[in-house]
Amino acid sequence: MNVTRIVSLMLTLMLLCACHSHPLKVETPAPPAALQPEPPTSEEEPAIPPPTATLPESTEIPPCLPVEAPARSPAKHHIKAPVAVSPEPQPVAPEAPTEASVKPVGMLPSVLGKRVHGPDGEDYGRVVDVLANVRGQVRLAVIEWGGFLGVGNRRIAVDWTLLRFPADPQDGLILEASKRELQSTPEYKDNDRAAALMAAPAQASPMPAASAAAPPAADTKK
């Protein structure tokens, strides 16, 4: 009888957990698809176009928006809505211009969990998080590397512009940094003392002046 009780308790616990399943993907609230000019993967597209990004031009997705392009400001507002970290949710105006529509986007792989390699193919770990600032610009990727069987893993934040996305989406990303630079970056902690490995100004892609003046969220080159 004791066994029966314990088994039924276990089953109840499992049922409770089943009711609270989390969605698998990133949990930021995504507005309904109809209201978005871009598909909900906009969070993962950098606001600053990486130099060797190869978004196929044949699809109907408009290319990534540079922040300062004034002609697209209504669309920019829509893009920011899903990733804005402002405290109150910004109600996206339903009476948006005709840009709001669902468009097919083809196969875009997730960034989370993607392998990262060095410039000469060395294994640098995986992307485990993507960080954006309040203006909706993706600024940093958090990479977890090192360790053995999960012991001794280390997380560091790197500048998004240091990542290169290869032509074949199944390949890993390329991080333009040396092993030594990775090791000298302090471990990433989600607090106000966070530090990230940033690209040197000369080696970064020609960033638009407006975004260069954007407040660097506690970025320091180490």
Partner 1 sequence: MPGTAQSNPAAPHTNREVKVVAISPPPSIEQGPRSSEPHPAPPSGGAPLNPKHAGAALDWFNLFVANIQTGFGPFIAVYLASQSWTQTSIGLALSIGTVAAMASQVPAGALVDAIPNKTRVAAFSVLAFTACALMFAIYPIPLFVYLAEILHGLSSCTLGPATAAMSLVIAGRYGMGLRLGRNARYAAIGNGVGAALMGACGQYVSERAVFYLTAILTMPALIALLPLRKVAVARATPTGDAESLRGDTFKVLADRRLLIFCACAMLFTFTNAPLLMLVSGNMTAKVGNPSLLIAACIVLPQVIVALASPAAGRLADTRGRRLVLLLGFAALPLRAFIFATTSNPALVISVQALDGIGGAAFGVMMPLIVSDVAGRTRHFNLALGLIGFGVGIGGTLSTPAAGWLADHFGIRSAFYALTGVGLLATALVAFAMPETKPDPKAEGQ
- Least distance to partner 1, CB of residue 44, Å: 11
CA distance 203 to 78: 31
Kindly list the residues in this chain that would bind partner 1 in the complex (CB under 8 A): 2-3, 6, 10, 13-14, 17-18, 21-27, 110, 112-113, 126, 128-129, 144-154, 179, 183, 187, 189
Asked whether 182 and 124 are in contact (CB, 8 A), the reply is: yes
Nearer to partner 1, 9 or 34 (CB): 9
Tokens of 33: 């698809």
Give per-residue burial for 91-123: e unless 16+ CB within 10 Å, then b: ebeeebeeebeeeeeeeeeebeebebbbeeeee
Alpha helix (H) residue ranges in 116-202? 179-184
- Least distance to partner 1, CB of residue 140, Å: 14
Nearer to partner 1, 151 or 202 (CB): 151
Name the CA dihedral angle for 182, 188, 193, 198, rounded to a multiple of 10 degrees: 40
- Least distance to partner 1, CB of residue 173, Å: 14
- Least distance to partner 1, CB of residue 95, Å: 33
Nearer to partner 1, 59 or 183 (CB): 183
Nearer to partner 1, 70 or 148 (CB): 148
